[in-house]
Amino acid sequence: MNPKTGIFFGPPLAVLTAAQTNTLQISGKINRTAERYLAVMRHHGLDLSQAERACLAHVCNIGFMAPQEIGELAFEVRNTDFECEGLDRQALALKLEAASFADLVAVVEELGF
């Protein structure tokens, strides 16, 4: 268990905890949400080659990936000029289009974006 830590409540956390009225309720809501999020990350993702990972890292290299940007990964892969040995951008784009949003989030998280 981590010691108490101050946390900045940006808009997503403010919305998530809006119905909670005290510190214990807020803490519980955040911890339940984090536990479920970690479970989603364990159960989702895509089997990607090193070349596909390199392409996605290039596309995601802007840093923070907003949900809308994650949903547009296939479009970005089709439009990038990134090339490397073993990469089939069209096949990767099709794989991304067929993936669930949870799969795409898991990929972006795994790549560190």
pLDDT tens by residue, the chain, 113 residues = 677 888 899 999 999 999 999 999 999 999 999 999 999 999 999 999 999 999 999 999 877 899 999 999 999 999 999 999 999 999 999 999 999 999 999 999 999 99
Closest CA to 16 of 1, 26, 3: 26
Q: Helix, strand, or coil here: 6?
A: coil
pTM: 0.86
For the chain, give the longest Cα–Cα distance: 55
